[in-house]
Amino acid sequence: MTPQQLHGIALVRKRIDEIDNTVLDLLKERLDCARTIGKLKDESKRAKWDPQRELEIYERLRKNNADVFPPAALYSIFHEIITTCRLSQRKATVAYLGPEATFTHQAGVRYFGQTASYQPMESIPEVFQEVERERVQYGIIPVENSIEGAVTYSLDSFLLYKVQICGEIKLPINHNLVNRSGNMEDIKTVVSHSQALAQCRQWLRKHLPGVPAMPVFSTATAAKMAAEDPSLAAIASSLAITTYQLQVVVRGIEDFQGNKTRFLVLGDKSPSRCGNDRTSVVFGLINRPGALNEVLTILSAKGIDMTKLESRPAKNQLWQYVFFVDMVGHIEDPPVHEACNILKQICAYFEILGSYPAAEAAMPAD
């Protein structure tokens, strides 16, 4: 390089350093402002989290950016800034299905940011229990997969524990076959969570015929087992590869592209409306002809868009079922509020599980 070019690079680098220092000073000022707001909210006993305000920030930044800075990266940067500032008011503690590096852990980090305190649990019911007993502020659990459908342990736990849904996140799922050596010929058994095994069953059948598959508590448990036993291979997340120092045998072995899992955030109360919300309810029917059709007719008459309907056996009554419904709108919206009041009167059992910002309200397209 010529002396002029070297001098030019030095000048630009100096300017970058100046910009970085300015950004850092502004971040410190923003953090101080967030703490001041936190104190004012404490005085007025307002909720710390205002989802509508956060959505307004993201939308303003998106418009001002005009696609100059990569939109997904811009969201990621400001998501970390916003969550860090919010958590400075009170650091969030989050229970999740562990151990470290499960897809649930990954979803939690994406939702709450790196600065939250994460506590791994051995089972989904334990996550509910920690939230109900207020040993943590939040829990995060998988509720359905775009390929395999509902996570029944999660649905059944809503019938046992008193918690509220506070939010949701949809995470793209990429399954990796990993072991200690990185060689397929060393694999004697494949271990993973039952959902992960189901989402890769065709690939396993074709490429590892005759090799048994064994379900375990989580994908991270499987990764940990594979790190300890050279005869095992795990189906696990990218985060688990680095966490447990494993080698990749094959990346992306899921049977269907576009595979996503929806996770729910649990807490003690739902946030206020943001304008792009979902409400989840569960109900049991009086045993009479047309009872389910009556419920659906009420929702339709109120102009409510139902996005999910799932049935589960009622554990305390033989051959009786409860129904889980997700609908567009917040319980503060008059149509949703009115419909729920009617359903409370005509159903044998009815409970509002929560109103919360829809995942599409904040997350950019993948």
Residue 181 and residue 164 share a domain? no
CA 28 to each of CA 57, 85, 88, 106: distance values in angstroms, whole numbers, following the listed order: 18, 10, 12, 27
- Domain stops at, among 52, 68, 89: 89
Residue 284 and residue 235 share a domain? no
- Residue 310 sits in a domain whose CATH number is 3.30.70.260
Instruction: Give domain status of residue 55, yes or no.
Output: yes
Beta strands in the chain (DSSP E): 93-97, 117-121, 138-145, 149-150, 164-172, 176-179, 189-193, 213-216, 232-236, 247-250, 260-267, 277-284, 306-313, 321-328, 349-357
DSSP label at 347?
A: S
User: Which residues span the domain enclosing 352?
Assistant: 272-358
Quick check: 219 and 193 in contact, CB under 8 A?
yes
Instruction: Give domain status of residue 310, yes or no.
Output: yes
Residue 104 and residue 83 share a domain? no
Predicted local distance difference test score (pLDDT) of residue 363 = 47
- Domain stops at, among 241, 265, 289: 265
Predicted local distance difference test score (pLDDT) of residue 167 = 92
Residue 138 and residue 97 share a domain? yes
Predicted local distance difference test score (pLDDT) of residue 17 = 92
d(CA 250, CA 178): 7
pLDDT digits (tens, 9 = 90+) for 89-146: 667 899 998 888 888 998 998 888 887 899 999 889 999 999 999 999 999 999 998 8
Residue 341 and residue 280 share a domain? yes
Instruction: Give domain status of residue 255, yes or no.
Output: no
Predicted local distance difference test score (pLDDT) of residue 364 = 45
Residue 145 and residue 112 share a domain? yes
Instruction: Give domain status of residue 365, yes or no.
Output: no
Annotated binding site for substrate: 13, 30, 41, 50, 54, 85, 89
Residue 339 and residue 350 share a domain? yes
Predicted local distance difference test score (pLDDT) of residue 81 = 87
Quick check: 134 and 266 in contact, CB under 8 A?
no
Predicted local distance difference test score (pLDDT) of residue 57 = 87
Instruction: Give domain status of residue 349, yes or no.
Output: yes
Residue 180 and residue 222 share a domain? yes
Count the domains in the chain: 4
- Residue 221 sits in a domain whose CATH number is 3.40.190.10
CA 178 to each of CA 225, 226, 238, 244, 255: distance values in angstroms, whole numbers, following the listed order: 11, 8, 10, 10, 17
Peptide bond into 212 cis (omega under 30): no
Instruction: Give domain status of residue 202, yes or no.
Output: yes
Read off the tokens for 89: 């008011």
Residue 326 identity: D
Residue 185 and residue 169 share a domain? no
Quick check: 278 and 356 in contact, CB under 8 A?
yes
Residue 327 identity: M
Burial 121-145 (b: 16+ CB within 10 A, else e): beebbbbbbbbbeeebbbbbbbbbb
- Domain stops at, among 40, 65, 89: 89
Residue 76 and residue 9 share a domain? yes
Annotated binding site: 13, 30, 41, 50, 54, 85, 89
- Residue 29 sits in a domain whose CATH number is 1.20.59.10
Beta strands in 251-289 (DSSP E): 260-267, 277-284
Residue 111 and residue 76 share a domain? no
Q: pLDDT digit of tens for each residue in the chain (366 aa)?
A: 888 888 888 889 999 999 999 999 998 899 888 888 877 776 665 566 666 777 788 889 989 998 899 988 888 888 788 878 877 766 789 999 888 888 899 899 888 888 789 999 988 999 999 999 999 999 999 999 888 888 899 999 999 999 999 999 999 888 999 999 999 999 999 999 888 999 999 999 999 999 999 999 888 899 999 999 999 999 998 888 988 999 999 999 999 888 889 999 999 988 888 888 999 999 999 888 889 999 999 999 999 999 999 999 987 666 588 999 999 999 999 999 999 999 999 999 999 999 999 986 544 444
Residue 354 and residue 276 share a domain? yes
Instruction: Give domain status of residue 34, yes or no.
Output: yes
Instruction: Give domain status of residue 57, yes or no.
Output: yes
